[in-house]
A and B are shown apart, each in its own frame.
Chain A
Amino acid sequence: MDFSVIASNWKFLLLQGLIGLGPFIGGTLRLAIPAILLGFALGIFVGLARLSSTRWVRAPATVYVEFFRGVPLVMVIFWIWFIIPQLLRLPIPEYGVALTAFVIFEAAYFGEIVRAGVQSVARGQVEAATALGMTGAKTMTYVVLPQALKNMVPSLVTQMIVLFKDTSLASIIGYVDLTKAAQIVNNREIKPFQIYIFIAVVYWLCTYSMSLFARRLERRAA
């Protein structure tokens, strides 16, 4: 089998598709990294809201999580794609649409991880912090969350890998990530087997190194 198509196109695929340096606004990493950070940040609020003792905080968070976990991501991307221009009355670039969709969608999943993490912290820790005179917010920031974070590491990394793979769906609305770059190259070269196997290997190298890193992190944390 002739793999010369990769030799002549790997620069475009990796620089434009994976990193985002090139004629198009794109890049898998340029979408995945902010989506992970913002999705996790929003997820902390969602997760804590799910555990709130106030019903008016807990109920909307529960609906939020159940809703987004029951709907395909593709559907959410289309929603944002149609709704944001309607709401703001101005065209939004694909990057903005994709990032918004990923953050909103993944926050539901990150929220569940945060909730499970917080619930895994022993009750006595909270009681001890209260006995020391700490306020609720201080207990959360200095006592509960640091310990919860340690317990969350495995599922957090799993979710990051899922999100990293999910960014390929941004190509549906025309964002030039690795998958879209492969489509562009394939339209010119018509070598689908070689091109898609190549990007499969690139995705695999990224996700596999993430899971290796996670395993090391777990060993150090344990």
Chain B
Amino acid sequence: MSYSFKWSVLWSGQSGHWLLQGLLTTLELSALAWLIAVALGILSGALRTVRFTPLRWAAVSYVEFFRNVPLLVWMFFWYFGVPPLLPRAVQDWLFNHGAEFWAGTLALGVYHGARMSEVIRSGIQSIPRTQFEASVAMGLTTFQAYRLIILPVALRLIVPPGTNESLNLLKNSSVALTISVAELTFQTRQIETYTARAIEALTAGTLIYLVLCLSIATIMARVERRFAIPGLIARVEPAG
């Protein structure tokens, strides 16, 4: 293989700026989607463990449908499929205010919410039922029992699988390039297009993802030790 490397393309011209912009967009997209995913995940994960059947079924349908369809299809669905159903004025406003970013955030958040839900449900189910019964016996309502007893314990138990799933979300944010969100992978491709230096551009993008993932994993390993519940060796198995 005779390929002469020219690494300077990464910092000459616009490339450095593009990479930084891409990194910031990836972080922004992932952070917003993560908030949606965690909110939906806690809500539907908790609802899947309650006794009231209609609520449980609503949560099950959401989780089973959204997590079993590829993220790419959801990207296209939220970006191309949903806006035409909205009123004309809303459509115009959206397409003037970065519709692809919002569609990407929603697609990523709703998809990972369904996956997060499984993590949270397994956390809740690993708490002995007696905890819930004791809370109710103390006079707490079901909502209070979940808010004050069950969820705080469950959330501490699921730090490891939750971290894993959050990193999946971060990596999956790259799929947003298909609806032309200018995130890191998109910018990597742009550098490749402008400089015809595929290997250099891809190396830069890959290294940024690797550093991001490894540093989050390292930080979270510390958080995990800090939040571990002493004396409790409950193992939470993530269910895909």
| Cβ-defined contact, B80 with A158, below 8 A | no
A86-B3 contact in complex given A78-B202, A204-B65, C-beta closer than 8 Å = yes
| Cβ-defined contact, B209 with A208, below 8 A | no
User: Quick check: which of B16-24, B70-78, B127-135 contacts chain A, the rest being far away?
Assistant: B70-78
The interface bits of chain A over 86-115 (1 if a CB of B lies within 8 angstroms of the residue's CB, else 0) are 110000000000000000000000000000
List the A residue with the shortest CB-CB distance to B178.
Answer: A172
Instruction: Give the distance to chain A from B116, nearest Cβ to Cβ, in Å.
Output: 15
| Cβ-defined contact, A158 with B239, below 8 A | yes
List the B residue with the shortest CB-CB distance to A168.
Answer: B70
Q: Which residues of B contact A158 (CB under 8 A)?
A: 239-240
| Cβ-defined contact, B205 with A70, below 8 A | no
A193-B81 contact in complex given A162-B240, A200-B69, C-beta closer than 8 Å = yes
User: Is B221 close to A, CB under 8 A?
Assistant: no
List the B residue with the shortest CB-CB distance to A199.
Answer: B73
Q: How far is the CA of A199 from the CA of B174 in the complex (A)?
A: 21
User: Is B68 close to A, CB under 8 A?
Assistant: yes
Q: How far is the CA of A169 from the CA of B76 in the complex (A)?
A: 12
| Cβ-defined contact, B185 with A74, below 8 A | yes
Q: Which residues of A contact B81 (CB under 8 A)?
A: 192-193, 195-197
The contact size tier of chain B is 35 or more
User: Is B157 close to A, CB under 8 A?
Assistant: no
Q: For B65, B76, B213, which residue has the most chain A Cβ atoms within 10 angstroms?
A: B76
Q: How far is the CA of A168 from the CA of B75 in the complex (A)?
A: 12
B104-144 residues at the A interface, CB under 8 angstroms? none
The contact size tier of chain A is 35 or more
User: Is A62 close to B, CB under 8 A?
Assistant: no
Instruction: Give the distance to chain B from A126, nearest Cβ to Cβ, in Å.
Output: 23
| Cβ-defined contact, B80 with A186, below 8 A | yes
Q: How far is the CA of A73 from the CA of B239 in the complex (A)?
A: 21
User: Is B92 close to A, CB under 8 A?
Assistant: no
User: Is A79 close to B, CB under 8 A?
Assistant: yes
| Pairs across A and B, CB under 8 Å, 23 listed | A67-B210, A70-B167, A70-B213, A70-B214, A72-B209, A74-B175, A75-B206, A78-B185, A86-B3, A158-B240, A165-B70, A169-B175, A171-B72, A172-B177, A179-B72, A192-B76, A193-B77, A196-B73, A200-B69, A200-B74, A204-B69, A207-B69, A208-B68
